[in-house]
Amino acid sequence: MSKPTSSENIVHQKYDRCVADLLVKAGVGFGVGVVASVIFFRRRTWPIALSTGFGMGAAYADCDRLFNPARVPGTRIITQPEESK
């Protein structure tokens, strides 16, 4: 029988997932920016900053949906009707 997970642990797991997602997506964006900068833009720095920002923005959006599932398109919040006394 498994022990129930506390809400504090759930928040920590979500936060850890967000930080890991940020590092991965920003890193991929940085790598794509470096490659694009070297190949297409004569070693300018703006493609690196732009693609890193896109990666960080995608990670932020995913984290926002993780902590607030009501923001997922197509999700409805159904409340139970209160019983009359």
Q: What is the pLDDT of residues 38-59, one digit of tens each?
A: 999 888 999 999 999 999 999 9
Q: Which of 46, 25, 28 is nearest to 37 (CA)?
A: 46
- What is the C-alpha separation between 73 and 75, in angstroms, rounded? 6
pLDDT category at 15 given cuts 50, 70, 90 is: very high
- pTM of this structure: 0.76
Mean pLDDT of all residues in the chain? 89
Domain segments of the chain as ranges: 11-67
